[in-house]
Amino acid sequence: MSLDVNKIRQDFPILTQTVYGKPLAYFDNGATTQKPQVVIDCTNQIHTELNSNIHRGVHYLSEQMTELYEGARRKVQEFINAEHSQEIIFTSGTTGSINAVAFSFGELYVRPGDEIIVSGMEHHSNIIPWQMMCDRKGAKLRVIPFTDEGELMLDEYKKLLSNKTRLVAVNQASNSLGTVNPIKEIIDLAHGVGAKVLIDGAQGVQHGGIDVQSLDCDFYAFSGHKIYGPTGIGVLYGKEKLLFDMPPYQGGGDMVECVSFEKTTYNSLPFKFEAGTSNFIGAIGLGAAIDYVKSVGIEDIAEYEQKLLNYATDKLLQIDGLRIYGTAKHKISVISFLVGDIHPYDMGMIMDKLGVAVRTGTHCTQPIMDRYEIEGTIRASMAFYNTFEEVDRLCEAVLKAKQMLE
């Protein structure tokens, strides 16, 4: 079934606006996605009618909020097919989730001389927390290289794996190259040497969903704002047994069972990892976003985005001097490119004046840019509310900018 995109666009009020007198064509969905009216209404309604802190009050509003918050947790659980709702920890985002694992898992399991493996195409969020952890624990960071096309070299990965490997952290899909990584194979190989695996799903979950049980990943992280939900809310999934053993990484209210100056005992899962007042309105908004995505159909979304990707790739490649970085066989709807010697920033600025919003720069993946010996790229990242006509406008904007800058 194909999507009725014109109808879908009516759900996103921001898309109807003009910028510099031109209709907005928003191609920066990898950075953040726009919000459907149901998510805006949900968070507005809570602020207007229900706001009250969760878990702590015996009064009506607090109970209502607690129920909605825990309901959102169950929605996430079902969406990613986790076995238990206490395996879902609400965090501030993918970055928050990865840092939590790097600290907490690192404290318990990582010893001097151990190794952590990441890939060469990770977002800084999936590099720096591991570097910090390696510094703290005397461990070593190893890196899986990738090909010119932007595909991970699995043979090299196999060589890196050993009984020193404690954890492998890779993304489901690259935000800069669009590559969809073979995460099932990566996970199975890591488990073969007894290592755990964290999947950074920041660019994966919104483009086709995820089933954490069939994947058998140990941790999975994603951000609400990249799946049409609010900002400042994210999810850390972890297998119950691991989370149960891992120590909390932050102390504060709600994560405790009993506090005294002599000894403090911690709350059960998932609360042990949710110190302080959590972003409960964000979590409920994320639940509304998940409901919305499910109502559209995650498979239909993926299918439509692939059509957009193919159309945009073919059309962009017709432009003389345009080079695409990231030509893997399996990609999400992300295209990074450069044209001739034109600086990405200059091109992005002109495209913006034509109403076409793209990203320029390193996209928080400096090692990828170093690998290709470039300063950065122009990135068009597409969502299911983008149209083929908008892709035509994207290409026209590139051509116009090229004429002006060459």
Catalytic residues: 364
> Helix, strand or coil for residue 398?
helix
Which one of 126, 179, 362, 377 is in contact with ligand PLP (CB under 6 A)?
A: 126
Nearer to ligand PLP, 15 or 118 (CB): 118
Give bridge partners of residue 253 from the DSSP assignment: none
305 binds ligand PLP (CB under 6 A): no
Helix, strand counts (H, E) of the chain: 14, 17
Nearer to ligand PLP, 77 or 125 (CB): 125
**Helix 280-296, helix 37-45: angle, nearest 10:** 150
How big is the site for ligand PLP, counted in residues (CB under 6 A)?
Answer: 13
| Chain centroid, CA 341 distance in Å | 31
Nearer to ligand PLP, 169 or 395 (CB): 169
Q: What is the largest CA-CA distance in the chain?
A: 72
Which one of 123, 272, 359, 402 is in contact with ligand PLP (CB under 6 A)?
A: 123
Stretch that binds ligand PLP, among 68-76, 89-97, 294-302, 313-321 (CB under 6 A): 89-97
C-alpha to C-alpha distance for 38 and 241, rounded to whole angstroms: 36
Nearer to ligand PLP, 266 or 372 (CB): 372
Q: Shortest gap between Cβ of 124 and ligand PLP (angstroms)?
A: 8
- Is residue 180 a contact partner of residue 149, using CB atoms and an 8 Å limit? no
91 binds ligand PLP (CB under 6 A): no
Specify the DSSP class assigned to residue 181.
Answer: P
Among all chains, which residue has been given the structure tokens 């149960």?
244
> Helix, strand or coil for residue 362?
coil
189 binds ligand PLP (CB under 6 A): no
Radius of gyration for the chain, computed over Cα atoms and rounded to the nearest angstrom: 22
Nearer to ligand PLP, 86 or 126 (CB): 126
Q: Shortest gap between Cβ of 67 and ligand PLP (angstroms)?
A: 27
Q: Shortest gap between Cβ of 91 and ligand PLP (angstroms)?
A: 9
Which one of 33, 165, 171, 181 is in contact with ligand PLP (CB under 6 A)?
A: 171
C-alpha to C-alpha distance for 181 and 170, rounded to whole angstroms: 8
Stretch that binds ligand PLP, among 197-205, 244-252, 338-346, 398-406 (CB under 6 A): 197-205
Query: How deeply is 159 buried, as exposed, middle or buried, from its count of CB atoms within 10 A (0-12, 13-18, 19+)?
Result: exposed
Token digits for 248? 């909390």
203 binds ligand PLP (CB under 6 A): yes
Q: Which residues of the chain form contacts with ligand PLP (CB under 6 A)?
A: 30, 93-95, 123, 125-126, 171, 175, 200, 202-203, 223
